[in-house]
Amino acid sequence: MKPEPEQPVISLRGATATLGSRPVLRGVDLAVHRGEVVSLLGANGSGKSTAVRSVIGQVPLTGGSVDLFGTPLRRFRDWARVGYVPQRTTAASGVPATVYEVVSSGRLSRAKLRWPSKADRAAVHRAIELVGLADRAKDSVNALSGGQHQRVLIARALASEPELLIMDEPMAGVDLVSQEILATTLREQVVAGTTVLLVLHELGALEPLIDRAVVLRDGCVTHDGPPPRSLGQHALPGHDHVHPHSDSEPVRTGLLT
């Protein structure tokens, strides 16, 4: 089951991609090795989200190649080994659903068509416990706060007990207290050997966990190495700060809520 030690978990080589006619990735090379925690940083529109989504086949590449666990993406079928947290502000949909129901859908990559076993249900409960929502498992996701929505999305990704976690801006709109909880959850996963690739707007509470930062600018890698300590994205070239909080959502500081 374990790949060769040298073989990266994610290998993106010379990746190019376009949105409409605009090139978004212009030859991105990225290798993530087993047990690493790699953060993609960059300004809005730098291609970091596209890069992550191309790794899981949600954005078609116009050139280059992607390998997951040493298998070309086209032939990769073992999706239970990958946990994905898409960029979302809500885990809700048009019909009420409980935390347990939403997180359960992350287990389908292992359960497939068979009836969920005791082990499947236990894994779902464990994932909910990991993000600290055990007491809310039977509540509707509509009754949760923004930070709790992100925790549900992360629990859903953890339900398949993945070896690789891919997260697209998991901290967007999350208050400091929830950020700390997410950081603790992630630390436990990393200690257990999970590989992590995540897109971040700012390093924030996750900073101590990050092994390597890859900075994108205009679809090219401009930095691949230790994270820029305590500077986050604000010190990067070409960063124009867009305040993440919309008017409709009150700023959560952790002191007032």
Partner 1 sequence: MEILETAFMQRALLAAVLVGITAPAVGIYLVQRRQALMGDGIGHVAMTGVGLGFLLSANPVWMAALVSIAGAVAMELIRWYGRMRGDMALAMLFYGGMAGGVLLINLAPNGSNSNLTSYLFGSLSTVSDADVVAICLLAAFVMLVTVGLRRHLFAISQDEEFARVTGLPVRALNLLIAVTAAVTVTVAMRVVGLLLVSALMVVPVAAAQQITRSFKVTFVLAVVIGTAVTLAGTVTSYEYEVPPGATIVLLAIGVFFVLTALAGPLARRRSRTLSEADAGAPAGCSVEAGGLPDGSRPAYVAKV
Q: Is 94 in the site for partner 1 (CB under 8 A)?
A: yes
First to last CA, the chain: 46
- Rg over alpha carbons for the chain, rounded to the nearest Å, is 18
Q: Is 97 in the site for partner 1 (CB under 8 A)?
A: yes
Instruction: Give the integer Cα–Cα distance in Å for 182 and 153.
Output: 11
Q: What angle do CA 166, 143, 157 make, to 5 degrees?
A: 15
Please check whether residue 76 is in contact with residue 64, taking contact to mean a CB–CB distance below 8 angstroms.
no
Nearest CA to 53 among 25, 76, 80?
Answer: 25
**Between residues 154 and 215, which has the closer beta carbon with respect to partner 1?**
154
Q: Which stretch binds partner 1 (CB under 8 A): 39-47, 62-70, 145-153, 195-203?
A: 145-153
**Between residues 58 and 62, which has the closer beta carbon with respect to partner 1?**
58
Tell the residue number behind the tokens 């995540």, with chain if given.
Answer: 198
Contacts with partner 1 by CB under 8 A: the residue count is 48
Return the residue of 13, 26, 33, 88 that touches partner 1, per CB under 8 A: 88
Q: Is 204 in the site for partner 1 (CB under 8 A)?
A: no
**Between residues 86 and 244, which has the closer beta carbon with respect to partner 1?**
86
Q: Is 3 in the site for partner 1 (CB under 8 A)?
A: no
What residues have CB less than 8 Å from 86, skipping those under 6 apart? Answer: 153, 168
Instruction: Report the interface residues with partner 1, using CB under 8 A.
Output: 56-58, 77, 79-80, 82, 84, 86, 88, 91, 93-98, 101-102, 104-106, 108-109, 111, 113, 116, 132, 136, 138-140, 142-145, 147-148, 156, 160, 175-178, 181, 252, 254, 257
